Amino acid sequence: MAKGIIIREAHFPGKAAIEAYGNGGFRFADMSHRGSLLVLPSGIHGWEPADPQALKASDFDKLLAEADRVEILLVGMGKDLRPLPAALRAALKEAGISADPMSTGAAVRTYNVLLAEDRAVAAALIAVD
């Protein structure tokens, strides 16, 4: 019986600094990923959202499932700083997560510093061109 191509969800099972961003994606752990990323203590996941204005709590289900391992969430909102939607901010606060929106570039740099300090940090990074 012939098997076709198996499509797996993009996932890197570990912690890694983000080496580069731009051109619609990111580089980390000697790999590249096109599109947005959700960077959690359990690993780095491909992430669907591309519009920071349309973020909702369900976009963060994986994060909320491991909320006990995250103190700070850095949200890379694209090229510009935008506030998080109020309902999302409330859901994260209820889970005990402090969310900090900023540009994607600032979020990448801050994530790398906090990761190096072994802090309980996660990042939701919207890809930029």
pLDDT above 90 for 1: no
Task: Classify burial at 109, counting beta carbons within 10 Å of its beta carbon; exposed 0-12, middle 13-18, buried 19 or more.
Answer: middle
Which pLDDT belongs to residue 125? 98
- Tell me how long the chain is: 129
Q: What is the pLDDT of residue 83?
A: 92
* Residues in CB range of 95: below 8 A, 6 or more apart: 64, 67
- How does pLDDT run across 54-112, given as a tens digit for each residue? 999 999 999 999 999 999 999 999 998 889 999 999 999 999 999 999 999 999 999 99
Q: pTM for the full model? A: 0.91
CATH architecture of 11-125: 3-Layer(aba) Sandwich (3.40)
The Cα 54–Cα 46 span in angstroms is: 17
Judge contact between 21 and 108, C-beta under 8 A.
yes
User: Is pLDDT above 70 for 4?
Assistant: no
| Segment 6-33, tens digit of pLDDT | 555 677 888 999 999 999 999 999 999 9
Residue type at position 58: S
**What pLDDT band is residue 49 in, cutting at 50, 70 and 90?**
very high
Phi and psi at residue 64, to the nearest 5°: -65, -30
